Amino acid sequence: MKLARILTEFLRGLGEATLFLFTIVAALPQALLRPRLVVQQLYMIGMLSLVIIAISGSFIGAVLALQGYRTLSQFGASSALGVVVAFGVIRELGPVVTALLYAGRAGSSLAAEIGLMKATDQLSGMEMMAVDPIRRVIAPRFLAGVIAMPLLGSIFSLMAIGLAGGYLIGVLVLGVDDGSYWSQIHQSLHPRDIGESLLKSLVFGVAVNWIALYQGYHAAPNSEGVSRATTSTVVVSSLVVLALDFVLTSFMFR
């Protein structure tokens, strides 16, 4: 009985969230007509997430280089370090870790912002001023978030493979040949890999922003509601990103 209630509740929530997504998508053309709002949000949720993404990318690239070098050097294949780092980052870690970090940094802040706007009657106030909050508040944030994710994912990958990550540790610290590092990447990495990485980021961008905005918009209008919305955003987004990654990777491996 309880299980049936939980299942019904879950399906109801899923249906409500799907309708919410349709409403956002229907409002996107209007959001595109007001690029200033989108750019503002790109700064708030994209630009301000840049530091954490870049630093994390550097550390993950560095760790991959250390671990990869240790294994590869046992087989005398340390010159292939660039490929190991590049594949690991571009195919998996770049989009996935970026999405997880984004959920924690920008997703939670989106949910809290929208939840508080609801709790303080700002959204109701807009409705009473004949301004649709979905068009004015939600759609520009959604669009900015979806645009930001592939860009952040790319920056993460760049930092991890080159600059401060894999290159720094592999080439400058561990002494892997500079030319081999880059040429192996150049030969092994296909544009398709980059395309799939961007596609993953795009899908994660839709998922995380949808979840964050839905949680905020449907939060109970009080402090506990906002707190729940923020927590749910991070938990649900993280699980959904990992599950989607599995599904997408299975399709891409075919």
Partner 1 sequence: MTPTGQDTLVRVRGLRFAFGPRLIYDGVDMDIARGKVTAIMGPSGTGKTTLLRLIGGQWRPQAGTVEFDGVDVHRQSRDQLFELRKRMGMLFQNGALLTDLTVFENVAFPLREHSGLPDRMIRDVVLMKLEAVGLRGAAGLYPEEISGGMARRVALARAIALEPALVMYDEPFTGQDPISMGVLMRLIRTLNEALGLTAILVSHDVQEVLSISDYAYVIAGGKVLAHGTPEAIRTSQSEMVRQFLDGKPDGPVAFNYKTSRSYAAELLGDGAA
Tell me the chain's radius of gyration from C-alpha atoms: 21
Contact predicate 66/171, CB 8 Å? no
Considering the rule CB under 8 A, would residue 25 count as an interface residue with partner 1? no
In the bound complex, what is the minimum distance in angstroms from residue 27's beta carbon to partner 1? 12
Q: Looking only at residues 173 through 192 of this chain, which bind partner 1 when binding is defined by CB under 8 A?
A: none
Considering the rule CB under 8 A, would residue 35 count as an interface residue with partner 1? no
In the block, tokens 């571009």 appear at 90
Q: What is the C-alpha separation between 78 and 89, in angstroms, rounded?
A: 17
In the bound complex, what is the minimum distance in angstroms from residue 35's beta carbon to partner 1? 15
Q: What is the C-alpha separation between 120 and 204, in angstroms, rounded?
A: 30
Phi, then psi, of 176 in degrees rounded to 5: -65, 145
Size of the site for partner 1 (CB under 8 A): 14
Q: Looking only at residues 101 through 130 of this chain, which bind partner 1 when binding is defined by CB under 8 A?
A: 117, 120-122, 124-130
Considering the rule CB under 8 A, would residue 5 count as an interface residue with partner 1? no
Considering the rule CB under 8 A, would residue 193 count as an interface residue with partner 1? no
Q: What is the C-alpha separation between 168 and 218, in angstroms, rounded?
A: 45
Considering the rule CB under 8 A, would residue 9 count as an interface residue with partner 1? no
In the bound complex, what is the minimum distance in angstroms from residue 126's beta carbon to partner 1? 8
Residues near 204 by beta carbon (within 8 Å), at least 6 away in sequence: 95, 96, 98, 99, 102, 149, 153, 241, 244, 245
Supply angle C-alpha 167, 168, 171, rounded to 5: 65
In the bound complex, what is the minimum distance in angstroms from residue 142's beta carbon to partner 1? 17
Q: Give whichever of 14 and 131 is closer to partner 1, judged by the CB atom.
A: 131
Please give the biggest Cα pair distance in the chain: 70
Tell which one of 63, 66, 104, 132 touches partner 1 (CB under 8 A).
132
Considering the rule CB under 8 A, would residue 131 count as an interface residue with partner 1? yes
Considering the rule CB under 8 A, would residue 4 count as an interface residue with partner 1? no
In the bound complex, what is the minimum distance in angstroms from residue 41's beta carbon to partner 1? 11
Q: Give whichever of 122 and 183 is closer to partner 1, judged by the CB atom.
A: 122
In the bound complex, what is the minimum distance in angstroms from residue 34's beta carbon to partner 1? 10
Helix, strand, or coil (residue 149): helix
In the bound complex, what is the minimum distance in angstroms from residue 121's beta carbon to partner 1? 4
Q: Which helix (H) or strand (E) holds 244?
A: helix 223-252
Considering the rule CB under 8 A, would residue 30 count as an interface residue with partner 1? no
Q: What is the C-alpha separation between 110 and 89, in angstroms, rounded?
A: 27
Q: Give whichever of 117 and 241 is closer to partner 1, judged by the CB atom.
A: 117
Residue numbers at the binding site for partner 1 (CB under 8 A):
117, 120-122, 124-132, 136
